[in-house]
Chains A and B, each alone.
Chain A
Amino acid sequence: MRFFGVENLGIRFGGVVAVDEVTFDVRRGEVYTIIGPNGAGKTTIFNLIGLIYPPTSGRIVLQGRELNGLAPHRVAELGIARTFQNIELFEHASVLQNLLIGRHRHRRTALWQELAFSGAVKRAERAQREAVEKVIDFLDLQHYRDSMVAGLPYGVRKVIELGRALATEPQLLLLDEPSSGLNPEETNDMAYWIEDIQKGLGITVLMVEHDMSLVQRVSDRVLALNEGRAIAEGTPAEVQSHAAVIEAYLGAKEPA
């Protein structure tokens, strides 16, 4: 069965067509990257998949199930997690609490049990904590476990956000510019983690990225967008040498 795909996905804001009839499929286990110049509609596609914007046209399908029309929190419950371009962490909570919120979709306890903090809640909390500690080990966040997010440097927050998404144990991970704002060393770490997430954890990754060296290194397939339309799809090398892509980034050759 097809793992994940969007068909003729589109949205317009008033007269602006931000995403125009985009269709693509993501195969289970691959890293699929969307590239494109600023304003091409990459993040908008993420927000459409997250059901934050209702699409004007098209379908979003995860394992044969249509997502259109569901409430946004249902997307997470079905196993799609995401990070944000500009980092949306819970600022006034500790790193541990941030990661534990990632476990929200796995909670099984009722309100009255929580008010009494019954044995069931305690066992569940212990299990959640163990799951979170695996993520902490995976991303080397031990040092920051009890720190408040509000005081941490940008690079660390970026990793925490990745950790929070991983804590949900997603099937599909949406990464919105994982390398933006990171220095070359941190970008390198990020590339390792993306490879580990794909190969070690077996999580399918859909990402938006500008850093072409990172894209080439980790992506199996790439989709290029321009002005809301898909212009090329294929391996990183194919897309990078595609005439329409070069034109979108650098402009067309002047007619001789």
Chain B
Amino acid sequence: MRFLFKTSYDQDLRLFRHSGQVFWYGLLAAVLLAAPWWASEYMMTQLHFIGIYSIAGLGLMLLVGFTGQISLGHAAFLAVGAYTETLLQAAGWPFWLTLPCAALLSAAVGIIVGLPALRLKGIYLAIATLAFGVIVEEILARWESLTGGNSGLHVKPIELFGAKLEGDAGFFYLVLALTAVCCIALANLLRSPTGRAFVALRDSEISASCMGVNLAKTKTLSFALSAALTGIGGALYAHKVSFISPEQFTLLVSIELVTLVILGGVGSLHGAVFGAAFIIVLPQLIAIAKDYLPAGVAGAAGLQSTVFGLVLIGFIIFEPMGLYGRWLKIRTWFELFPFYRKGMFRRQKTYMKSERLR
């Protein structure tokens, strides 16, 4: 195993803790950059979606995993991003302008949704955001002059610096670059004062405020950033599927995003990417499994939702730290072999907390 001897404060500030990490992330980058050569067309599409869902998932992860707020309406931000992108593209704006606009408008909507969050907590916030999601979906269906209503909108292909971004490879590199930028920006934020303020707010609002954290500003900022990321995901999603309509942004999509965060592992950036991969791959696995299931089960409506639900329940009971937690445990097992103990990752029950100030 590796022992880290720290000789300077800068070692704790670095993005990569040691040379091993640089190597493995470098390898990952190389493999992904070479994807157009080794991946089939079908796999490329899966990679596109994993990238898009990773970005959207990072947005929700920031809100749920780091700021401790809950949102059951994130599909609405996906929709705001997708529609903004589509409409501005249709108006002839260039991509380098439409994408920031999609992010900014989503952030603005995020701030509006964040306002009730200043007063609501837990289940009440969940209900408020859920209602928000339904309202946005309804607006998209009814505002026919702008959104085309239920008949939807076609999305133009991306044009970057005068050249049409055609084929799987070009779009793949765009998604890959944006995913990487979002990951690094969030990792940077989380090792800075603002990121710490988010975590403080998650763990104890009262003492965060006593340490000088402006609760209202920090919460609103978290909602805005979260919505902006999900909006970027939405904009890319629109280009990927090239046709958008309100039924692509239903409550089920919001729940899918929450599932992504929980399966991936609440409170880790890796978790968002792992969760995205899982969410994209699971339906494919179900489709394959269908061939081997009895006809009655395979043909049943709602098989996919049932499996998703069961997986979610299974994770919450057996692996509350999600896929990332599982990965940490496996890694620790190898690092400490043969000294790994079963209870190493068990969290202690928290001590009594004062209830009066909540």
Tell me, in angstroms, the Cα distance from A73 to B200 when the chains sit together.
Answer: 13
Tell me, in angstroms, the Cα distance from A223 to B199 when the chains sit together.
Answer: 37
Residues of B within 8 A of A231 (CB): none
User: A47 to B211, Cβ gap below 8 A?
Assistant: no
Q: Is A84 an interface residue (CB 8 A)?
A: yes
Q: A89-B207, A104-B197, A105-B211 are in contact. Are A126 and B189 (CB under 8 A)?
A: no
Tell me, in angstroms, the Cα distance from A111 to B212 when the chains sit together.
Answer: 17
User: B196 to A168, Cβ gap below 8 A?
Assistant: no
User: B200 to A117, Cβ gap below 8 A?
Assistant: no
User: A97 to B206, Cβ gap below 8 A?
Assistant: no
Indicate which residue in A52, A87, A168 contacts B357 across the interface (CB closer than 8 Å): A52
User: Would you give the shortest CB distance from A94 to chain B, in whole angstroms?
Assistant: 10
Residues of B within 8 A of A22 (CB): none
User: Would you give the shortest CB distance from B114 to chain A, in whole angstroms?
Assistant: 15
Residues of B within 8 A of A124 (CB): 193
Tell me, in angstroms, the Cα distance from A101 to B297 when the chains sit together.
Answer: 53
Q: Which partner residue on chain A sits nearest B68 by CB separation?
A: A92
User: B203 to A76, Cβ gap below 8 A?
Assistant: no
Residues of A within 8 A of B207 (CB): 84, 88-90, 164
Q: Is A138 an interface residue (CB 8 A)?
A: no
User: A82 to B210, Cβ gap below 8 A?
Assistant: yes
Tell me, in angstroms, the Cα distance from A76 to B207 when the chains sit together.
Answer: 10
Residues of B within 8 A of A128 (CB): 193
Which of A27-35, A150-158, A202-210, A248-256 is the interface stretch? A150-158
Contact indicator per residue, chain B 323-358, by CB within 8 Å of chain A (1) or not (0): 000000000000000000000000110111110010
Which among B200, B210, B213 has the highest number of chain A CB atoms within 10 Å? B210
Tell me, in angstroms, the Cα distance from A23 to B85 when the chains sit together.
Answer: 61
Instruction: Number of B interface residues at 8 Å Cβ cutoff, please give it.
Output: 41
Q: Is A217 an interface residue (CB 8 A)?
A: no
User: B352 to A86, Cβ gap below 8 A?
Assistant: yes
Q: A50-B210, A73-B209 are in contact. Are A92 and B267 (CB under 8 A)?
A: yes
Q: Which partner residue on chain A sits nearest B185 by CB separation?
A: A115
Interface of B is mostly: helix
User: A71 to B214, Cβ gap below 8 A?
Assistant: yes
Indicate which residue in A92, A157, A168 contacts B203 across the interface (CB closer than 8 Å): A92
Residues of B within 8 A of A84 (CB): 206-207, 354
User: A86 to B354, Cβ gap below 8 A?
Assistant: yes
User: A101 to B192, Cβ gap below 8 A?
Assistant: no
Which of B6-14, B29-37, B155-163 is the interface stretch? B6-14
User: A150 to B10, Cβ gap below 8 A?
Assistant: no
User: Would you give the shortest CB distance from A3 to chain B, in whole angstroms?
Assistant: 20
Residues of A within 8 A of B195 (CB): 114
Q: Is B208 an interface residue (CB 8 A)?
A: yes
User: B347 to A125, Cβ gap below 8 A?
Assistant: no
User: A103 to B354, Cβ gap below 8 A?
Assistant: no
Contact indicator per residue, chain A 198-222, by CB within 8 Å of chain B (1) or not (0): 0000000000000000000000000
Q: Is A129 an interface residue (CB 8 A)?
A: yes
Residues of A within 8 A of B200 (CB): 90, 93, 101, 104
User: B215 to A154, Cβ gap below 8 A?
Assistant: no
Contact indicator per residue, chain B 199-228, by CB within 8 Å of chain A (1) or not (0): 110111011111111111000010000000
Tell me, in angstroms, the Cα distance from A158 to B66 when the chains sit together.
Answer: 24
User: B189 to A115, Cβ gap below 8 A?
Assistant: yes
List the 6 closest pairs (A to B, CB-CB), nearest first. Answer: A76-B212, A114-B192, A90-B203, A105-B212, A88-B207, A117-B188
Q: List 23 A-B contacts (CB under 8 A).
A: A47-B357, A52-B209, A73-B212, A76-B209, A84-B354, A85-B354, A87-B353, A88-B206, A88-B353, A90-B199, A90-B202, A90-B204, A101-B199, A104-B193, A104-B197, A104-B211, A107-B193, A111-B189, A126-B9, A129-B9, A129-B12, A130-B9, A154-B351
Interface residues, chain A, with chain B CB atoms under 8 Å away: 47, 50, 52, 71-73, 75-77, 81-82, 84-93, 96-97, 100-105, 107, 109, 111, 114-117, 121-122, 124-126, 128-130, 133, 150-151, 154, 157, 164, 168
Interface residues, chain B, with chain A CB atoms under 8 Å away: 9-10, 12-13, 15, 185, 188-189, 191-197, 199-200, 202-204, 206-216, 221, 267, 347-348, 350-354, 357
